[in-house]
Structures are given as structure tokens and as C-alpha cells.
């Protein structure tokens, strides 16, 4: 059975919801497919806040400069300029739509995070900014009768015809049977792939399916080697990794080693406010030096009432695990957090596959370069989600929906359906990624990882398992190709930046890795 709609949006985080609203405002019928409930996405778990130029002492040029520095020479400057200038307008619009950021005396409260030169981070309910984004955007989308939300509908593959994306195949949430839905265009907003790693701050849905589906459909991928590891994930035996926001260090938190000694001065003059990649590597180095499995985040110099008000969700979670953030040293270690690379797009969300658009963490717009600046991700999803929706509506105005014929390229013995993702495959891939394609990389570890992923891929896998192992292979192959250290990618055998690699890695189905000096901004 097949259905049709004007546009399909896959994902209901900030990028997906904002794209759907833009399409609805253009008069289109929009179907939003989500793997889980509508509110379950990486956006929901974003704690720290959103970076935006709104305070009196800030300027767009400063925000742009901070982003370019963090990106280690690989940012597309026009993409960054678009982000920081249009971001202000879209955040003001969110506030008009009812998004409630924290205030004191009626004025917005700004905080500072690592590598920002100004206090420009807005937050909501202390440390629940992402949840407030989702709440307000779902409410706004609910006022558009042309938007239909279809939760618990796991998309399995993109459909193409005559070199154009024409729809998706998904798993019916009630009948658990494959269904097809056709549209003028598809917008991928499926988020990142933190679940590729054994230790991650990402929710279970962040398995990178959108990236893999785009790759199999023929779209270009860019900069897949650049994975950001968050330095401070709560690390307790038997408990899942829980993100301890960057803002905790921004408010004065100190990192101490197993002996209780502050150690960041040994690695970087910016101490705890150095960029995330530096702090993560410093923590790994300190754990190895001291023979410990964690370091500690010390917030005890701050008032308990302030901490409980500023970080209510973190406080609640830590208390449930027997920790008081105002009194106890919090055991932390790095965990995978964000993908700087993804589906290659221009500044309007257009991928290299006609009819396929993308926004948010699933993409590589060139905004983040080799390392994302803290709290730029919500802003990116908001700005480029809106732009992708507007572009899809404008580009597809004269098109009609083509249904009934497709060239889905990600078919793997679907007549013998298996569980959505083999537990054994998932566990093995996650372990290999953590041990061999993690924070510190080298040629031999990457070679062994690639060989193992190639072997796993030869098995008769379900679509989800094949997506998972294919994506892991793309990250490992790109990391093997980049013989330098830059941003979130660190090679112990090539520890310096090399000018020859000041380029984007480009991966395309059936082709060897190539490079591009810059991503076409598409203006």
C-alpha cells in the first residue's frame, strides 16, 4: 500500500519541526515521520542552551569568529555568516511563538560556554533548553492543520526514480509491515549517530539511519571523520552515560584528577573553557597518566541553591544516582556527542540528490568545520531547518508527486525480515568504534576497524543493521584517509595539522574518497 503527500519530513527535532512549519506556511501538505514519539530526538536532550547574538555587548562578527576558530580551518564562512546573522531573527521568532527562555528581572539571562568570547548562551528551565524548543515547536506545528505527525514509523530507505528522490519506505507502526509514501521532495532531519559508539550522550534513536539512507540513495557525504566527544559525561558503573552540560564549566566547574588535583593547566591555558576536543583529549591523557577510569567535575565552590536552580535536571538525575552536585565530586569521562559531518548540503539544505533536502545534525553544511562550537547545534537546526523547508517548497512548486515506481537501493532480503537491529551486530560495532575509531586514532587501529566492518557487512543483515555498519565504515574510512589531526579528529601517528588536508572529505556510493576545498554555498 502506498500513500502520497506534498512533502515528507523525516525527524521531529528542531530542524524537522522548523522545516515542516516552513512548508506548511507555504501552503503544502506535510507528513512528518518519526522513529519514536514526536518529542524523542537529540534536541530533547540538549541541555546547555542556544548560542545567539542578542546581548548588548555581542556582535555577529564575534560569534562568527568564535565559530571559525573552533572549526579549525574547515568552516564554510558563508554558512557561518548565515547561521549567526539569521539566527538572531529566528530566535526572536521562537520567543514570539511562546518559547520561554530563562529571565531575571524580566531580562534574558545569558551564560558563557567553552570557546565563546561573550556570554551569549540562552537557556530554558536551567538545563532543559532542548526540551523547551521541542515543546514550543510542537505546539506551533500543531496550529498548522496541513502538518501530520506519524510517530513510531521507522524509515527504512529513500525511494528514487530517474535520479530523483520521490519518497520513503517506512515500517508501519501498527501492522509492522513496510509502507511507501511518495512526495514532491523529502527533507531529512534525522539527527546524528552517537549510538555508533559504546559510550554516548545521545538517545537510543540516534543511530544515523538518515545518513546511511542518503548514502545508499546516492547523495554525497562530507567530513564523516569529525566526531565530537563531549568531555563530561557522568560515568558511574551500571548507569547510562548522562551529559553534564558544558555550562557547568562555564559557571565555574573545575576538572580534577583521581588525586583531586586540577589538571587542565597542564594541557591548555584556557583551562576548563578550552574547546571540547582539547578538553576530551586532555581528560583521556590524564586518565592514562594516573591510571584511572574517570576524572572529576568539581562544582562544590558554587552555592547549592544556585546550582539547583541553574541545573535542575542535572541535579535531579544526580540525586537519583546518589550524588549531590553541590557537595560531591562528579565522576566524568568523555562520550560521543555530535557528528560534524553528514549529508553534504548547500546553504538551503539541497543535497546532491535532486528532491532530497536535509537539515540539522544529519548534514554537513560547513558550519561546524572540524569541531562544533558549543551551543551552535540548536541554532543550526532552527536556521537551516527553516531554509530547507523554504527551498523545498520553492524548488518543487511546479512538480507533481510521482508514485508507484521506485528504485530503492537499500533492499536487503526484506522478505526475510529480522529484528530492527541485531543486538550482536550493534554491540560489536559500538565496541570497535570506541576502541579503534574513538578520541585517539592511528593507522593500524583504523585499518583493523575497516576490515572488521567489511566482514560484518558480508552477512545477511537487516536494513537497520546494514545502515549501522555501513555508517561506521564511512567514519572509519574517512578517518583513515585524513592523515593529520584537526578538530575532533586526532591521529596519534599524524599529530599536526597539515595544509594539504585543509579540505572536506567527500564519500559517494561506489567511489573512492575524494576531497573538496569547500562546499558550494549554493546561493
Q: Which helix (H) or strand (E) holds 470?
A: helix 463-481
Q: Convert 241-298 into a string of H (helix), E (strand) and C (coil).
A: CEECCHHHHHCCCEEECCCCCECHHHCCCCHHHCCHHHHHHHHHHHHHHHCCCCEEEE
Task: Answer for the pair 37, 151: CB distance below 8 angstroms, yes or no.
Answer: yes
- Tally of CB atoms within 10 A around 415: 5
Task: Answer for the pair 161, 145: CB distance below 8 angstroms, yes or no.
Answer: no
Separation between Cα atoms, residue 370 and residue 491, nearest integer Å: 13
- Tally of CB atoms within 10 A around 217: 25
CA distances from 270 to 48, 206, 231, 246 (A): 19, 31, 15, 14
Separation between Cα atoms, residue 101 and residue 216, nearest integer Å: 40
Task: Answer for the pair 482, 514: CB distance below 8 angstroms, yes or no.
Answer: no
Cell triple for residue 56? Answer: 548588548
Q: Which residue among 18, 140, 276, 441 is the active-site one?
A: 276
Separation between Cα atoms, residue 189 and residue 8, nearest integer Å: 10
C-alpha closest to that of 219 among 207, 229, 211, 227: 211
Separation between Cα atoms, residue 509 and residue 339, nearest integer Å: 20
Cell triple for residue 26? Answer: 507555504
Separation between Cα atoms, residue 235 and residue 195, nearest integer Å: 17
| Cα angle 53-22-111, degrees, rounded to a multiple of 5 | 20
Q: Which helix (H) or strand (E) holds 10?
A: strand 7-10
| Contact partners, residue 269, CB within 8 Å, separation at least 6 | none
Burial class, 48, CB count within 10 angstroms (exposed 0-12 / middle 13-18 / buried 19+): buried
Task: Answer for the pair 39, 216: CB distance below 8 angstroms, yes or no.
Answer: no
CA R_g for the chain: 22
Q: Which helix (H) or strand (E) holds 239?
A: none
Strands 30-33 and 147-150, sheet pairing? parallel
Is 276 among the residues known to form the active site? yes
User: Which backbone phi and psi does 286 adopt, to 5 degrees?
Assistant: -70, -40
CA distances from 495 to 18, 20, 371, 487, 517 (A): 40, 43, 16, 11, 21
CA distances from 77 to 215, 263, 422, 520 (A): 25, 34, 41, 11
The residues annotated with a catalytic role in the active site are 276
Amino acid at each position: 500500500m502506498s500513500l502520497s503527500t506534498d512533502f515528507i519530513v523525516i525527524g521531529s527535532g528542531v530542524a524537522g519541526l522548523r522545516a515542516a512549519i516552513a512548508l506548511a506556511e507555504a501552503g503544502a501538505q506535510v507528513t512528518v515521520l518519526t522513529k519514536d514519539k514526536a518529542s524523542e530526538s537529540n534536541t530533547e536532550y540538549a541541555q546547555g542552551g542556544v548560542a545567539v547574538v542578542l546581548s548588548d555587548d555581542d556582535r555577529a562578527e564575534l560569534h562568527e569568529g568564535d565559530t571559525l576558530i573552533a572549526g579549525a580551518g574547515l568552516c564554510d564562512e558563508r554558512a557561518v555568516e548565515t547561521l549567526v546573522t539569521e539566527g538572531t531573527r529566528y530566535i526572536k521568532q521562537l520567543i514570539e511563538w511562546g518559547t520561554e527562555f530563562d529571565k531575571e528581572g524580566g531580562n534574558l539571562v545569558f551564560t558563557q560556554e567553552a570557546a565563546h568570547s561573550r556570554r551569549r548562551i540562552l537557556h530554558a528551565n536551567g538545563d532543559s533548553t532542548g526540551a523547551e524548543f521541542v515543546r514550543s515547536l510542537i505546539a506551533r506545528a500543531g496550529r498548522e492543520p496541513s502538518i501530520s505527525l506519524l510517530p513510531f514509523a521507522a524509515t527504512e530507505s529513500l525511494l528514487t526514480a530517474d535520479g530523483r528522490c520521490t519518497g520513503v519506505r517506512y515500517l508501519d507502526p501498527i501492522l509492522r509491515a513496510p509502507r511507501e509514501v511518495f512526495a514532491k521532495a523529502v527533507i531529512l532531519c534525522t539527527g546524528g549517530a552517537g549510538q555508533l559508539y559504546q559510550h554516548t550522550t545521545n538517545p537510543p534513536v540516534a543511530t544515523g539511519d538518515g545518513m546511511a539512507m542518503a548514502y545508499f540513495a546516492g547523495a554525497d557525504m562530507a567530513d564523516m571523520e569529525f566526531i565530537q566527544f563531549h568531555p563530561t559525561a557522568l560515568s558511574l558503573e551500571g548507569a547510562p552515560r548522562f551529559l553534564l552540560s558544558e555550562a557547568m564549566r562555564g559557571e565555574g566547574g573545575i576538572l580534577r584528577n583521581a588525586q583531586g588535583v586540577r589538571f587542565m593547566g597542564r594541557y591548555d591555558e584556557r583551562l576548563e573553557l578550552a574547546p571540547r576536543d582539547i578538553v576530551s583529549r586532555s581528560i583521556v591523557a590524564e586518565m592514562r597518566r594516573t591510571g584511572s577510569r574517570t576524572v572529576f567535575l568539581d562544582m562544590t565552590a558554587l552555592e547549592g541553591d544556585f546550582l539547583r536552580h541553574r541545573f535542575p535536571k542535572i541535579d535531579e538525575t544526580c540525586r537519583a544516582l546518589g550524588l549531590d552536585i553541590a557537595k560531591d565530586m562528579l565522576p566524568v569521562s568523555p562520550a560521543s556527542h555530535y557528528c560534524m559531518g553528514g549529508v553534504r548540503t548547500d546553504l538551503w539544505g539541497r543535497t546532491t540528490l535532486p528532491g532530497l533536502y536535509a537539515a540539522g545534525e544529519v548534514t554537513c553544511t560547513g558550519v561546524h568545520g572540524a569541531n562544533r562550537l558549543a551551543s551552535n547545534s540548536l541554532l543550526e537546526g532552527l536556521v537551516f531547518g527553516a531554509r530547507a523547508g523554504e527551498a523545498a517548497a520553492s524548488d518543487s512548486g511546479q512538480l507533481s508527486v510521482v508514485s508507484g515506481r521506485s528504485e530503492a537501493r537499500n533492499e536487503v532480503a526484506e522478505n526475510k525480515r529480522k529484528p530492527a537491529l541485531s543486538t550482536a551486530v550493534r554491540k560489536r560495532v559500538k565496541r570497535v568504534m570506541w576502541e579503534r575509531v574513538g578520541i585517539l586514532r592511528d593507522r593500524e587501529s583504523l585499518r583493523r576497524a575497516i576490515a572488521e566492518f567489511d566482514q560484518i557487512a558480508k552477512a545477511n543483515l537487516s536494513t537497520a543493521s546494514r545502515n549501522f555498519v555501513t555508517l561506521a565504515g564511512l567514519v572509519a574510512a574517512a578517518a583513515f584517509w585524513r592523515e593529520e589531526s584537526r578538530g575532533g579528529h586526532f591521529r596519534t601517528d599524524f599529530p599536526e595539522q597539515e595544509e594539504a588536508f585543509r579540505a572536506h572529505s567527500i564519500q559517494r556510493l561506489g567511489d573512492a574518497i575524494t576531497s573538496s576545498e569547500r562546499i558550494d554555498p549554493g546561493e
